[in-house]
Amino acid sequence: MVDVTQDVLVKRIGYEAERINSYELVARTGGELAPFTAGSHIDLQLPNGMIRSYSLVNDQRERHRYVIAVNKDAESRGGSSFVHDSVRVGDIMTISRPRNNFALHEEADHSVLIAGGIGITPLLSMIRRLEAIGRCWELFYAARTRAAAAFLDELDTLERGSRIHLDFDDERSGRLFDLPAIVGNASAHTHLYCCGPVPMLTAFEAATADRPADHVHVEYFQARETPATEGGFDVKLARSNRTIAVERGKTILDALLDAGITANYACTEGVCGTCETRVIEGTPDHRDQFLSKEEQAANKSVMICCSGAKSRTLVLDL
């Protein structure tokens, strides 16, 4: 469940690339939607009970619509395939308000954006913003094939000079999508953004390890680590004064929901931040990609959908 929701109407569905559709969502009763900034996402509460997060693709100056793009993942566990197979124009959907975990630093002199596949979505919104405020940017966009790359038409209308670098697996002729070189060629003041599949993000993080952390920005769509389901510890809920045992095979979130406790969550993979919970006492076993290394080391909060505990008890602000 997500905390603040609103109903929207599916106004338009568009074909953007092989297995990628865009969905234009407008307020059910007309009028304006809550504002958002480039890099934001919304959570869709699907009728099959799943909650999935999707980045907003459109221009943040637009208040009459949200546009998302959904990649029908071959390994979908019911999220993207449900959207592709079941959502139709005219449907009403429940969504969260936009949240931004991947904010654009508008003051940067130069921004380098690196996208893999559907990872183009938040970056496209960022490009629209950088264009609107007259900032300098460069895009590196990799996809399996040209036909599988979404929004190429729109990128074409933006292209000036050599700021957009496309790389398709099936068209390579000795030219590799070389992340260390891309990062190495960027000036020390450049802000670097990456969104794509886990191997790309891992390579990006390795290539940027020596850069200042506040100049390096990553958005994960999928979990990199397996969730903590080893169990064997208790969660004490400070506000309700209850103690819940987390058994083997369950995450903290599973244990709470099974005990009838209401908790906020969306992705259940440690990437969206919706389930972040303050830690009052104890040591979490962090398995998320949302908190920075420093935040994880501080142990002040935990993503209860995927993280466990290193201590026998974890006292949470719930």
120 makes contact with ligand FES (CB under 6 A):
no
Structure tokens at 5: 């929701």
Residue 116 three-state SS = strand
143 makes contact with ligand FES (CB under 6 A):
no
Question: What does each C-alpha distance from 202 to 109, 196, 205, 206, 249 come to in angstroms?
Answer: 26, 10, 5, 6, 27
Min dist. Cβ of residue 256 to ligand FES (A) = 12
Of residues 190 and 301, the one with the C-beta less far from ligand FES: 301
| CA angle (59, 134, 290) in 5-degree steps | 55
Backbone angles phi, psi at 80, to 5 degrees: -70, -35
Site for ligand FES in 57-96 (CB under 6 A): none
One-letter identity of residue 286:
H
Of residues 59 and 299, the one with the C-beta less far from ligand FES: 299
223 makes contact with ligand FES (CB under 6 A):
no
Backbone angles phi, psi at 200, to 5 degrees: -65, -45
246 makes contact with ligand FES (CB under 6 A):
no
The rounded distance, in Å, linking the Cα atoms of 177 and 85 is 33
Of residues 150 and 267, the one with the C-beta less far from ligand FES: 267
Residue 221's Cβ-count burial label (10 Å; 0-12, 13-18, 19+) is buried
Of residues 106 and 285, the one with the C-beta less far from ligand FES: 285
- Exactly one of 98, 227, 270, 308 binds ligand FES (CB under 6 A); that residue is 270
267 makes contact with ligand FES (CB under 6 A):
yes
54 makes contact with ligand FES (CB under 6 A):
no
Structure tokens at 183: 């990062």
CA 4 from chain centre, in angstroms, equals 18
DSSP state of 232: -
Of residues 150 and 304, the one with the C-beta less far from ligand FES: 304
Min dist. Cβ of residue 168 to ligand FES (A) = 31
Min dist. Cβ of residue 17 to ligand FES (A) = 26
Question: What does each C-alpha distance from 14 to 30, 38, 69, 253 come to in angstroms?
Answer: 21, 21, 9, 35
- Exactly one of 266, 279, 291, 302 binds ligand FES (CB under 6 A); that residue is 266
Give the per-residue contact string, 271-310, with ligand FES (x = CB under 6 A; - = no): xxxxx------------x-x------------x-x-----
Of residues 58 and 264, the one with the C-beta less far from ligand FES: 264
Min dist. Cβ of residue 129 to ligand FES (A) = 25
Of residues 244 and 253, the one with the C-beta less far from ligand FES: 253
Min dist. Cβ of residue 72 to ligand FES (A) = 21
Residue 31's Cβ-count burial label (10 Å; 0-12, 13-18, 19+) is exposed
Of residues 149 and 237, the one with the C-beta less far from ligand FES: 237
DSSP state of 180: H
Residues that bind ligand FES (CB under 6 A): 265-268, 270-275, 288, 290, 303, 305
